[in-house]
Chains A and B, each alone.
Chain A
Amino acid sequence: MTFDEAKAIVEALLLASPTPLSPQRAAEILEITEGQARELLQSLQREYRAKEGGLEIQAVASGFQLVTDPRWALYVEKLLGPPGVSGLSHAALETLAVVAYRGPITRAEVEAIRGVRSERALATLLERKLVREAGRREGPGRPILYATTEDFLRYFGLRSRDDLPPLPEKVP
């Protein structure tokens, strides 16, 4: 298998994969090392970028995914109609921010920071799979801990939580 053949196979996998394709998974399928798979994916990503076509390869949530170029979003929307799922409400987004930067975190802790009940917002986030239950905190009542998910990373186009914009300092 030549490098170009391997790259073509990875491209095929990217189109067929319903979720972001991790270098690890690609390596398993092509029987190469993870490093080689990553190299193929990144090479492909550069090619797409240079071509300035209709698609881009996005590094997201510990994998790579094929997406339409944001420049052509208007046309894609014409094809598909307006997005069925609306963006997050302010309350949900605020709650999500606290979970993202401070998680795993309990509901009570989220509420202490926001100063309002956050049960409904958390339920919405759980339903949209942006937040998941991540065990329980040891201690009285063993409250449920919440953390962000892979879907959360995909939703914001992040590779990991390290990609989050830095939380502003606590300055007056």
Chain B
Amino acid sequence: MSYTVKVEVFEGPLDLLLHLIEKNRINIYDIPIAEISQQYLDYLTTWREFNIDLASEFLVMAATLMEIKTRALFPRRVAVTPEGEEEADPRAELVERLLEYRRYKEVLTSLQELERQQALRYPRGSFPETAPTIPILPTEGLSVDDLFRAFLALVEEPVREIELEEKSLQERLREVLWFVTRHSEGISFRRLLGPRPSRPDLILTFLAVLELLRQRKLLLRQERPFGEIYLSLGDGGKTWHDPSGTR
């Protein structure tokens, strides 16, 4: 035996409240808060029973309703406040929000009709979607992320902590630069590391390359998507000595 559960979909707490107000044929300016709060909470309880994820906004609204209900229990001060203003109806702000939200909810039908009408007009070049093609990846001006992915491909084991000396990083920086200078056509990241690099070696080199990229002394290049990443000399010399000192 099968059964169907019909779950109404509400965009949010305001949508649900408007639904309750309409269903109960309530004057929006005189919402019986106690009754509506109860119905609202009933909905939340049902959803929970069906394990439907509740957006936190629904709970915030539940709290708001409780607060309004509590405030409504206190005898309303008939006298005006010293400022000469009348004590505000605790429901006023909520009513204002509901009315404002309802304007957009109501105009949706017209917009959907426009959307539907326009979908019937095919402009030039309404070609069907062809099979997904492999996006053309840039092979120049790669980002540090690309380099990081190449690095992760080399480090297969989970990362653990390794102590590095500042001095060795400075040395490696000079080494990398020296290597790259010697290969005017560019040197691949893999070759720079050499065969079977030790883990600290790997990290040191990676850090050195990152630092040199930051200083714009290096450029990254790729012959084709997913290909080897090549390092070559950047325009860094000039920008590094930027007199403004920001870099």
A interface residue numbers (CB < 8 A to B) = 15, 17-18, 56, 58, 65-70, 73, 76, 80-81, 83-84, 87-88, 90-91, 93-94, 96-98, 101, 112-117, 154-158, 164-165, 167-172
**B12 at interface by CB-CB < 8 Å:** yes
Partner of A115, one of B9, B14, B27, B112: B14
Measured in the bound complex, the distance between the Cα atoms of B203 and A51 in whole Å is 73
Partner of B114, one of A66, A67, A81, A165: A165
Cβ of A157 and Cβ of B28 under 8 Å apart?
no
Cβ of B14 and Cβ of A97 under 8 Å apart?
no
Supposing A68-B121, A113-B101, A116-B13 touch, asked if A87 and B115 sit within 8 A by C-beta, the answer is yes
Partner of A73, one of B103, B106, B112, B122: B122
Partner of A94, one of B61, B105, B120, B126: B105
Cβ of B117 and Cβ of A172 under 8 Å apart?
no
Cβ of B128 and Cβ of A165 under 8 Å apart?
no
**B100 at interface by CB-CB < 8 Å:** yes
Supposing A67-B122, A117-B55 touch, asked if A97 and B111 sit within 8 A by C-beta, the answer is yes
Cβ of B103 and Cβ of A167 under 8 Å apart?
yes
Partner of B122, one of A68, A94, A116: A68
> How far, in Å, is A14 (CB) from chain B's closest CB?
9
List 11 interface pairs A-B (beta carbons < 8 Å), by A numbering: A18-B124, A80-B127, A84-B129, A87-B119, A93-B111, A97-B107, A117-B57, A156-B111, A157-B118, A170-B100, A170-B103
Which B-chain residue is minimally distant from A71 (CB atoms)?
Answer: B120
Q: Which residues of B contact A73 (CB under 8 A)?
A: 119-122
Partner of A88, one of B57, B101, B115: B115
B interface residue numbers (CB < 8 A to A) = 9, 11-15, 27-29, 55, 57, 61, 97, 99-108, 110-112, 114-129
Q: Which residues of B contact A66 (CB under 8 A)?
A: 123-124
Measured in the bound complex, the distance between the Cα atoms of B11 and A112 in whole Å is 13
Q: Which residues of A contact B101 (CB under 8 A)?
A: 113-115
Measured in the bound complex, the distance between the Cα atoms of B129 and A80 in whole Å is 9
Partner of B121, one of A56, A81, A112, A172: A56
> How far, in Å, is A95 (CB) from chain B's closest CB?
9
Measured in the bound complex, the distance between the Cα atoms of B123 and A73 in whole Å is 11
Which B-chain residue is minimally distant from A114 (CB atoms)?
Answer: B12
Measured in the bound complex, the distance between the Cα atoms of B100 and A17 in whole Å is 41
Q: Which of B105, B111, B122, B124 counts the most A-chain CB atoms under 10 A from its CB?
A: B122
Measured in the bound complex, the distance between the Cα atoms of B237 and A95 in whole Å is 49
Measured in the bound complex, the distance between the Cα atoms of B105 and A112 in whole Å is 14
Cβ of A70 and Cβ of B120 under 8 Å apart?
yes
Measured in the bound complex, the distance between the Cα atoms of B125 and A167 in whole Å is 33
Measured in the bound complex, the distance between the Cα atoms of B28 and A169 in whole Å is 15
Measured in the bound complex, the distance between the Cα atoms of B28 and A74 in whole Å is 44
> How far, in Å, is B178 (CB) from chain A's closest CB?
44
Cβ of A114 and Cβ of B14 under 8 Å apart?
yes
